Amino acid sequence: MVMFLFLVVALAVVVAAVTLAVVGGGGTGPLPEAVPDRLRDPLPEDRPVGPADVEQLRLPLAVRGYRMADVDDALDRLGAEIAERDARIADLESALETALAGARDTGARVHLTKPRPEDEQ
């Protein structure tokens, strides 16, 4: 019986010691603020973002997934570039329509030097 009590007390001491080691002792105060790990080169700064840049984009993991600030920065940059490209495409399509309409009015022949994607199929 004494041996059984000794084993129970020893087990309780071991469990308490392991718990204190895992929790951190409780007397050291709060943990210091973690230094945020930010992306060094998330997307190129000196040129427009291309498909390969998006494929190679890897966001650093945080405790609960991805760092929200990094994801927001990358999505803001991609959204701005897509909006800029859409505006440029709309301007070019408008200029092309104007040029084609002017050519039709004068009877001139217009030659496109580059086929459209839907014509290539």
Kindly state whether residue 85 falls inside one of the protein's structural domains. yes
Q: Is the predicted pLDDT of residue 10 greater than 80, yes or no? A: yes
Kindly state whether residue 7 falls inside one of the protein's structural domains. no
pLDDT of residue 92: 95
Kindly state whether residue 100 falls inside one of the protein's structural domains. yes
Residues 6+ apart with CB under 8 A from 26: 20
Residue 119, token pair as written in the block: 């014509």
Higher pLDDT, 2 or 42: 2
Kindly state whether residue 72 falls inside one of the protein's structural domains. yes
Kindly state whether residue 33 falls inside one of the protein's structural domains. no
Report residue 66: phi and psi, to 5°.
-100, 155
Kindly state whether residue 86 falls inside one of the protein's structural domains. yes
Q: Which domain holds residue 89?
A: 41-104
Give the chain's domain count: 1
Kindly state whether residue 53 falls inside one of the protein's structural domains. yes
* Averaged pLDDT, 81-92: 92
Kindly state whether residue 76 falls inside one of the protein's structural domains. yes
What is the pTM (predicted TM-score) of this model? Answer: 0.47
Lowest mean pLDDT among 3-12, 17-26, 111-120: 111-120
